[in-house]
Chain A
Amino acid sequence: MEGTIVHTPRPSSISRFLRNYGVAVAVVLLILIGSGISYSITPLRTTAVLAATLRASTPLALGALCGLYGERSGVINIGIEGQMLLSAFTAFLINAYVGNLLLGVLVGVLTGAVMGLFLAFMSVTLRMDQIIGGTVLNILAFGLTGYFYQQGLTTPGKLQPIPLGPLADLPLVGQVLFNNPPITYLTLLLVALSQYVLFFTRWGLRTRAVGEHPRAADTVGINVYFMRYANVIIGGCLAGLAGAYLTLEQVGSFERMMTNGRGFLALAMMIFGKWNPLGAWGASLLIGFTYAFQTRLQFMGTIEIPPQFFGMLPYLLTIIVLAGFVGRARPPAADGVPYEKE
């Protein structure tokens, strides 16, 4: 006869890994296999599409990390779009007027951080509805950038690719991985670093505790408010970096509403990646790939289809993925719930 207490078997570490990172693994594998086949047929185009994939995924991955730091600590941030947009704008202005790319990036990051501080103040201190708080950020950014937008303003140059010595000369991978502009490299580092911070450090353990059960964290002496402020501001820095990427690395100028929904897509990437940095990165790669692919299709221009249809691809895929393939993703238990002592 069995005992009264039923122990559920612990899932093996492999199955746990696949549950959390299945998305990332599948996407990377698919892209690897697909590009292997396609490379043997048309090496030049394949290289171009893959390089573009990585770059298009960069702002999405950064935005997803921004959302992730917030939500892991219990603050929903739907203002990523606004943070990116305003940072893109300030980064661009600094570069246009001062002519210093590095300073431009720094000011972009700072802009994101200040907006993060504002969001944290609204949702942690004032305990405002966090969806409204994020919307405030978006409206603020749309308004400010629209009002101060100057047509025809250009900048002296943008961030250039840095080939990593002999690695850059390797076939395919050299061009795709080792010949990128700085923020693209940095993003890869930040994804890995975030994965480490969130799951292998004291900071990460406390952050996740605050997002799951703030009262439990409080009872062991963790300052819930501080952790939430800090994580939302860290997220703001990352969204700011994404903004700087758009103006200073990708385009080289500022356009109205140039974020084009990337901040919202980033949230979808975060969910698709089950609130894990690596997973979110895999999801960003997938959507980045459709960006690159649709651009390529538009360039080829042989097919009689309006280009807007191709432009739809990333968004369409996001909807399909979110609706059908996410499975049972579980957000942090206290996500979006303001914490009140006593």
Chain B
Amino acid sequence: MSGPLTGEPLALEARNITKRFPGVLANDSVDFALEKGEIHALLGENGAGKSTLMNVIYGLYSPDEGQICVDGKEVAIRDPNDAIAHGIGMVHQHFMLVPVFTVAENIVLGSEITRGPTLDMRQAERQIRRLSEEFGLQVDPQAVVEDLAVGEQQRVEIVKALYRDARILVLDEPTAVLTPQEADDLFRIMRQLTDRGVSIIFITHKLKEVLAVADHITVMRRGRVVGTTTPEETDEQGLASMMVGRDVVLEVDKSPAQPQQIVLEVQNLSVQDERGVVAVRDVSFEVRAGEILGIAGVQGNGQTELVEALTGLRAPQSGRILLDGREVPFHNPRYLIEHGVAHIPEDRQKHGLVLPYSIADNLVLSTYYREPFSRGVQRRQRPINARAGALIEEFDVRAPGAFTPAGNLSGGNQQKVIVARELSRRLRLLVANQPTRGLDVGSIEFIHRRMVQVRDEQIAVLLVSAELDEILSLADRIVVMYHGRIVATLATAQATRDKLGLLMAGSGL
């Protein structure tokens, strides 16, 4: 078979791939074709099987059925070594970097340069610098990876693939954690790579990005390929319905807010990060019942520390936090939970779930010690299971069952478990930090709708997000954080993308 554009053999072809996990058919006879030098976007709901397909192509999972062809020839890919040998490189959804190693050590790992028995790191660093210049990918070979921002870590991952001469590059949700500027940088790099004949598979949930950069778009749903199209033939709405299998409302429709009394009041709060650097400086604001206050800002401008202080995970240096007019003790999550504060954390795997625990147990993490889930010192399984069944149904969590470990769920379904747990209590205040990061359009629609519903029940909502669209469509009022300070407060009606973008970058003051 040959590609229609160039007449050359396909860079990569996956035929009839089937992969089963216990209780899940993750890939169901999937066909996928990648042309030379193109950017091919792979779209699909959370849990549709995109990462699974890529892991099969990269040799991390062995498929139950199917073949893979590279450059028109069938190849056997039994492990990542085979994939690397056939010029396949992959940047994983969760980065595969050793945090305590230097950039150079991470890049050469597995394909080291040696002189005699000794590692030749000088030579490696020279090669990395050359690659980094050639492709405009700025990396410092001697930096330690754990000190790098996510955008930089991602460049390291790409250089790592190029260092192995990757001609086929898989990028699994590369933009989920990037700032808009970093994402634009990445697209420039991707174009540069395809100009040099690299073929790219690009997974994302952001439809705008797909339409802007892809040559072809393949959509998956529930383990199957639904179809392949091009940006010319479709639009956001069309892609969304293809993914979800029904029409999706991309705009949030909500009535004007009717703010009531103040629920959360923050006075002159200052918080340090773990390195002792002041991350939040003298911040004051309030959130009223029945409104959504959006905190906009580029990641790393103090939002994480602010939310941690508000949810009792970090002790502030100074200032006061008042809930319904009463001062709350610092560093006391249980107090906050009992007084109706819900938290959707930024890092769902680290602060949102106990990954080895079942979905059912995760759903009662904040209430397990109360009636009816416990009596005396004893845990009661039956009410816990009943609750799990009801919530899985209501929040449409896609899982083999309530006893599946949370760690086996796809990212989007993990997020739904957290949202289900947090919204199923009596609430006064909901603190949501990047609540839809990495989620598909259907799940985003669902979570947005729930948040508006919560607001309309006269609950105060604090939304922290780096996504301008999310802030603009959900928030009733917006504050912008920059370098730990609140630099602007505005009504959503007066806010535009451009204005917010400037404020977030620290200019336009």
Contacts and interface: CB of A to CB of B under 8 A. Distances in A.
Interface of A: 1-2, 4-8, 10, 200-202, 205-206, 208-209, 212-213, 215-222, 330, 333, 341-342
Nearest to A202: B112
Interface string B78-113: 011100100000101000111111000110111110
Interface stretch (B142-150, B247-255, B416-424, B488-496): B142-150
B506 interface: yes
A200 B110 contact: no
Contacts of A216: 96-98, 106, 109
A221 B81 contact: yes
Contacts of A2: 483
B143 A10 contact: yes
Nearest to B114: A202
B502 to A, nearest CB: 13
Contacts of B505: 4
23 contacts: A1-B506, A5-B149, A5-B151, A201-B114, A201-B118, A201-B119, A205-B119, A208-B98, A209-B109, A212-B99, A212-B101, A213-B96, A213-B98, A215-B96, A216-B98, A217-B110, A219-B90, A219-B92, A219-B96, A220-B96, A220-B110, A220-B160, A333-B99
Nearest to A222: B110
B168 interface: no
A217 B98 CA distance: 8
Contacts of B144: 10
A220 to B, nearest CB: 3
Contacts of B96: 213, 215-216, 219-220
Contact of A213 (B99, B298, B300): B99
A217 B114 CA distance: 18
Nearest to A2: B483
Contacts of A212: 98-101
Counting from the closest, the 4 A-B pairs by CB-CB distance are A220-B110, A221-B81, A216-B96, A202-B112
B262 interface: no
A216 B108 CA distance: 12
Contact of B84 (A205, A221, A341): A221
Do most interface residues of chain A lie in helix, strand or loop, or is the interface mixed? loop
Given A200-B119, A201-B114, A216-B98, 16 more contacts: A4-B298, A4-B301, A4-B506, A5-B300, A10-B147, A202-B114, A209-B101, A213-B96, A213-B98, A217-B109, A219-B58, A219-B80, A220-B96, A220-B109, A221-B80, A221-B110
B61 interface: yes
Contacts of A213: 96-99
B183 interface: no
Given A200-B118, A205-B105, A342 B110 contact: no
A342 B56 CA distance: 10
B58 to A, nearest CB: 7
B211 interface: no
Most buried by A among B92, B96, B118, B301: B96
A216 B97 CA distance: 6
A205 B109 contact: yes
Contacts of B100: 212, 330, 333
B117 interface: yes
A267 to B, nearest CB: 21
